[in-house]
Amino acid sequence: MAKTFNMYMIKGYKNEKDAEIIEEILKGIDGIIKFKVEKAFGAVELTYDDEKISREEISNKLKTKGFELKY
């Protein structure tokens, strides 16, 4: 397992309701070890197993609800 940790801005984030939607999406993704949505900044701290899932795959799952991870 290769852990990757990073903080990403979330494109499309507007309010705390969006944070709840993002949390639900992230909870359902296999390979995410832990995450924390920073509601005040519209960002997310992500720790994930990059052998199971990539940043692009996570971003694509968020895109289904109108969000995107920004570098």
pTM here is 0.92
Mean pLDDT of the chain: 96
CA 20 to chain CA centroid, nearest Å: 12
Which CATH class name applies to 3-70?
alpha beta
pLDDT in tens, 57-66: 999 999 999 9
Q: Which residue has the tokens 């289904």?
A: 64
Distance CA 24, CA 67 (A): 13
pLDDT at 1: 81
Q: What does the domain layout of the chain look like in residue ranges?
A: 3-70
Q: How confident is the model at residue 35 (pLDDT cuts 50, 70, 90)?
A: very high
Question: Average of pLDDT values for 17-35?
Answer: 98
Pairing of strands 68-70, 3-11: antiparallel
Q: How confident is the model at residue 16 (pLDDT cuts 50, 70, 90)?
A: very high
